[in-house]
Amino acid sequence: MKAETTVIRAILAGTALVAAAGTAAAQEVNLYTSREPGLVEPLLQAFTESTGIAVNTVFLKDGLVERLASEGESSPADVLMAVDVGNLVDLVERDLTQPVESEVLSAAIPENLRDPGNEWFALSMRARVVYAANDVEIDSITYEDLADPEWKGRICIRSGQHPYNTALFSAFMAHHDAAETEAWLTGLKDNLARKAGGGDRDGAKDILGGICDIAIANSYYVGLMRSGRGGDEQKAWGEAIKVILPTFEDGGTHVNVSGAAVAKNAPNRDQAVQLLEFLVSDEAQKIYGEANYEYPVKPGAAIDPIIASIGELKVDPVPLTEIVTNRKQASELVDRVGFDN
The residue type of 240 is A
Kindly list the structural domains of the chain, giving each domain's residue range(s) and its CATH number in brackets, ordered by start.
6-125+255-303 (3.40.190.10), 126-253+315-336 (3.40.190.10)
First to last CA, the chain: 37
Please report the DSSP string for 225-272 in residue order.
Answer: HHTSTT-HHHHHHHHTEEEE--B-TTS-B-EEEEEEEEETT-TTHHHH
* CA 71 centroid distance within chain: 26
Q: Which segments of the chain have a pLDDT < 70?
A: 1-26
The pTM of this model reads 0.88
pLDDT at 8: 38
pLDDT at 28: 96
pLDDT at 37: 86
Find, among 271, 328, 333, 321, the residue nearest to 122 by Cα.
321
